[in-house]
């Protein structure tokens, strides 16, 4: 096995105050940085994710959710595995956990007993699907809520998204599951939902006549899975807008590019305050997107302050995160990733600042969904730029996972290090605590009424 270094946070479904956030597409976010190549190990790596030239390996931070029902880009089928192949993969996974897991007591789990229990099941597995289910369940028993074993299909879907190649059949909206139904928070301009007249903050109360929140009707994919489907087919949505009576809208599905939901944007608010929205660091060029967006914004004149919104950012490439901090501050450290066997300083690059941004006050907006690299970003901007943090405590989901690719294309994502602030403080389990606590379901409000955004503007407007 060739070791592919990956930092990852797993949030299979992001839960906030009794609500679930989802898209009518996949939402997955990793983080990458270069690091020295580790010693060779036994199994060859999957060719789907080659290491860069020059002996460097790639580090990712992911926050995966279930794969979309209708992924247009092909993914590998699950090839048959011999008994010997299954046992080899099982043994490599078990040994990797034994030697590298962040918690030496395995969170109270008897890891030797697990091997004795699981190995007969691996030998008897009748299909690849059964084998991968056994492996997933074994890693889930570690109980850290982050470590994970992925099948070749799951790995392929994440690679496709990281490269901006993942597509699906859907209507082009972001949806949050709330008590009343599915609250639409974003609509893709020109997409099927937009063309059908659907607006942000419309509420989906039924899909094809079935109540959106019916726990039995839709199966494991829920109502979102029913909204997705083959391009060219239609779905009937019952939409409620404000105090109006619900009405049925027929929407024809189309191919949706997930990358459109990950675009970095910037706009000028009243009072020459900039608003930078970073939905994910899991985009290869999110740092250049941020630079371009900010440069275009500054072409309209200087800014008095900057608001950076990472409230629904659940992670991404670490080097991208650091490069965006570097637009605001030249160099410095934001802390380190520390584990049983190593410590890695998280340093910000030099020589990449946008001069107009180095002295203006900054406010960061965070939420329960701000996780992984986005929490590191928030901490880093607070440390280096004295940014004021507004919102509610972040996810506290900062165990860093390394990834190991196997010959069949499957992957182990294992918690091996944890992010620490420069003073050694861990934020795992506690998150980033905001300087200004504003408890609000911000996504229910249009921007001009968003309580957290309004608080951020008030802070900046009070600056001399």
pLDDT digits (tens, 9 = 90+) for 231-275: 999 999 999 999 999 999 999 999 887 778 889 999 999 999 999
Q: How far apart are CA 8 and CA 11, in angstroms?
A: 10
Q: What is the mean pLDDT of residues 358-375?
A: 96
Q: What is the reported pTM?
A: 0.77
Identify the pLDDT of residue 166: 56
Q: What is the mean pLDDT of residues 199-221?
A: 91
Identify the pLDDT of residue 57: 29
**pLDDT band, residue 94 (cuts 50/70/90):** very high
Question: Which two three-digit tokens encode residue 215?
Answer: 């726990």
Identify the pLDDT of residue 80: 86
Q: Report whether pLDDT(182) > 90.
A: yes
Domains identified in the chain and CATH numbers: 3-14+31-162 (3.30.750.44), 172-252 (2.30.42.10), 260-399+423-461 (3.90.226.10)
Q: Out of 173-177, 190-194, 214-218, 222-226, pick the least confident.
A: 214-218
**pLDDT band, residue 326 (cuts 50/70/90):** very high
Identify the pLDDT of residue 68: 33
Q: Report whether pLDDT(28) > 90.
A: no
Q: Report whether pLDDT(348) > 90.
A: yes
User: How does the average pLDDT of the chain come out, rounded?
Assistant: 83
**pLDDT band, residue 221 (cuts 50/70/90):** confident
Q: What is the mean pLDDT of residues 448-454?
A: 97
Identify the pLDDT of residue 11: 28
Contact present, 310 and 275 (Cβ < 8 Å): no
Q: What is the mean pLDDT of residues 211-237?
A: 90
Strand order in the sheet with 305-309: 265-269, 273-277, 305-309, 362-366, 388-391, 436-437
Identify the pLDDT of residue 237: 97
Identify the pLDDT of residue 26: 30
Q: How far apart are CA 373 and CA 147, in angstroms?
A: 16
Q: How far apart are CA 50 and CA 43, in angstroms?
A: 14
Q: What is the mean pLDDT of residues 60-81?
A: 48
Question: Which two three-digit tokens encode residue 312?
Answer: 């629904």
Q: Out of 49-53, 110-114, 422-426, pick the least confident.
A: 49-53
Question: Which two three-digit tokens encode residue 407?
Answer: 């010959």
Whole-angstrom CA distances from 31 to 120, 233, 268, 423 are 36, 35, 28, 23
Q: Out of 210-224, 231-245, 386-400, pick the least confident.
A: 210-224
Identify the pLDDT of residue 64: 33
Residue 363's closest CA among 321, 410, 303?
A: 303
Q: Out of 159-163, 178-182, 183-187, 336-340, pick the least confident.
A: 159-163
More confident residue, 320 or 5: 320
Identify the pLDDT of residue 2: 39
Whole-angstrom CA distances from 295 to 62, 246, 280, 289, 292 are 28, 43, 19, 10, 5
Q: Out of 103-112, 140-149, 371-380, pick the least confident.
A: 140-149
């Amino acid at each position: 096995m060739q070791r592919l270094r990956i930092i990852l946070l797993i949030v299979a479904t992001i839960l906030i105050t009794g609500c679930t956030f989802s898209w009518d597409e996949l939402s997955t976010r990793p983080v990458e940085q270069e690091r020295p190549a580790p010693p060779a190990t036994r199994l060859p790596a999957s060719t789907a994710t080659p290491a860069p030239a020059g002996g460097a390996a790639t580090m990712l931070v992911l926050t995966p959710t279930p794969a979309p029902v209708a992924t247009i880009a092909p993914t590998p089928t699950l090839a048959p595995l011999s008994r010997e192949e299954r046992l080899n993969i099982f043994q490599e996974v078990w040994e990797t956990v034994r030697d590298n897991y962040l918690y030496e007591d395995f969170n109270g789990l008897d890891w030797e007993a697990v091997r004795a229990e699981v190995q007969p099941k691996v030998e008897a597995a009748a299909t690849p699907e059964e084998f991968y289910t056994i492996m997933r369940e074994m890693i889930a028993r570690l109980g850290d809520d982050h470590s994970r074993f992925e099948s070749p299909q799951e790995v392929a879907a994440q690679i496709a998204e990281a490269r901006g190649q993942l597509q699906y059949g859907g209507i082009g909206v972001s949806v949050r599951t709330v008590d009343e139904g599915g609250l639409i928070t974003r609509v893709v301009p020109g997409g099927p939902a937009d063309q059908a007249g659907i607006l942000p903050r419309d509420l989906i109360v039924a899909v094809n006549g079935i109540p959106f929140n019916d726990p039995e009707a839709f199966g494991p994919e829920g109502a979102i899975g029913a909204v997705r489907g083959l391009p060219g087919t239609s779905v009937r949505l019952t939409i409620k807008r404000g105090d109006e009576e619900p009405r049925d809208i027929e929407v024809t599905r189309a191919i949706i590019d997930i990358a459109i939901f990950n675009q970095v944007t910037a706009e000028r608010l009243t009072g020459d305050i900039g608003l930078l929205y970073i939905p994910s660091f899991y985009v290869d060029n999110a740092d250049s997107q941020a630079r371009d967006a900010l440069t275009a914004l500054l072409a309209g004149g200087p800014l008095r302050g900057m608001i950076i919104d990472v409230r629904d950012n659940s992670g991404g490439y670490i080097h991208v995160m650091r490069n965006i901090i570097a637009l605001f501050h030249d160099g410095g450290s934001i802390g380190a990733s520390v584990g049983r066997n190593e410590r890695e300083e998280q340093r910000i690059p030099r020589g990449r600042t946008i001069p107009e941004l180095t002295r203006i006050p900054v406010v960061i907006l965070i939420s329960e969904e701000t996780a992984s690299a986005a929490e590191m970003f928030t901490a880093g901007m607070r440390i280096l730029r004295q940014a004021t943090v507004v919102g509610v405590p972040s996810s506290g989901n900062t165990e860093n996972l390394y990834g190991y690719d196997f010959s069949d294309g499957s992957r182990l994502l294992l918690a091996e290090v944890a992010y620490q602030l420069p003073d050694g403080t861990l934020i795992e389990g506690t998150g980033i605590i905001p300087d200004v606590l504003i408890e609000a379901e911000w996504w229910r409000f249009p921007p001009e009424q968003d309580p957290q955004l309004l608080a951020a503007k008030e802070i900046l407007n009070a600056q001399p």
